[in-house]
Structure 1
Amino acid sequence: MVKCEVSLTRRIAPRWVDDADRLEIPVSNTQRVIYTAITDTIGGRESGVARSSDGVLDIRFSAPGSPRIGTNPEQLLSAGWSASFASAIALAAFNRNIAFAGEVSIHAEVEIEIDPVSYTLSVRLHVRLPGIERALAQLLTAEARRLCPFSSTIGRGLAVAVDLD
């Protein structure tokens, strides 16, 4: 069996608009909303809580290494991005009538970094596409980067490296 690993790396830093307390988010007039996720959060990453409007997500936050039981924003981004990217790969494969020999799996890593002026994130996605040749794996991951909303909005300009074992 051929195992394919794709490594995607991207550093993310927020772009602030003037002195406003909001992020600049480009909006297209040709897009239509197909889903809106709504959460309410009280507190912050060290000891906050968050709940989705439908009640399915109900979590506590805790800082990494803290004795408090809970998750952190980086784990949520890691899980969300990898799930979305896996779905995008599946869609790219479906559009080309390609079947995998097994499940697509993604090992995602999100690191938070600090420099003298801000925090940044580094994201790496290690993708396994069972039974897929390297050239086709590169094609599918390139298409997935375009289709995945996390990659196409947060992760513009991701560098892609494909390694086969």
Structure 2
Amino acid sequence: MTIQTVDVLYTAVATAENGRDGRVASDDGNLDVVVNPPKEMGGSGAGTNPEQLFAAGYSACFQGALGVVARKEGADVSGATVTAEVGIGKTPEGGFGLKVAIVAKIPNVDEATARDLVEKAHQVCPYSNATRGNIEVTLSV
């Protein structure tokens, strides 16, 4: 597998304290959240968790990629939503892994066009490019 070369335009910086049961904050102060494991994993569920943060970032990024593709294709994606469902669980090797389901709702195009736009957005989205070949990502409209 080749490593993707990137001409960096922006670098996000966040620092975690106490891992999954603590706090995460960005260096600019725009993000400052308490993180706790979800109840399903034995935690309090009182704060957000890394999977929710990943889902938020992936869905926003994918929506942006969808917009880029739609502009090139001349498609109307106004009113569209993208939901990222991020699951965490144990791997056969004994560690933990993730899987993602991307669900796009694009009301102003037919289903075939929606599927085409989502497939193309999956090729453009930085999160999709980072996870490709590493975790299972399913796409649906």
Specify if TM > 0.5. yes
* Structure having greater relative contact order (Cα 8 Å, sep ≥ 6): 1
TM (normalized to structure 1)?
A: 0.73
Q: CA RMSD in A?
A: 2.0
Q: Is the 8 Å Cα contact of residues 24 and 33 (structure 2) preserved in structure 1?
A: yes
* Seq. identity, %: 32
Q: Is the helix fraction higher in 1 or 2?
A: 2
Q: Which range moves more in the overlay, 149-158 or 80-89?
A: 149-158
Q: Does 1:58 align with 2:32?
A: yes
AA partner of residue 35 (structure 1): Y
Give the TM-score taking structure 2 as reference length.
0.85
Amino acid at match of 2:111: R
Among 113, 120, 124, the alignment partner of 2:89 is: 113
Q: Find the structure with the greater CA-based Rg.
A: 1
Total equivalences in the alignment: 134
Q: Give the conservation status (yes or no) of the 8 Å contact 2:101–2:138.
A: no
> Residues 70, 89 of structure 1: CA spacing in aligned structure 2 closer, same or farther, 3 A cutoff?
same
C-alpha distance in 2, partners of 1:39/1:138?
Answer: 34
Match for 1:77 among 49, 54, 66? 54
1:124-164 deviation digits (Å, cap 9, x = unpaired): 111100121122112211110111000011134745444xx
What is the CA–CA distance in structure 1 between the aligned matches of 2:80 and 2:30, rounded to whole Å?
Answer: 25
Unaligned 5+ segments in structure 1 are: 1-24
2:117 is matched with which residue: 121, 126, 140? Answer: 140
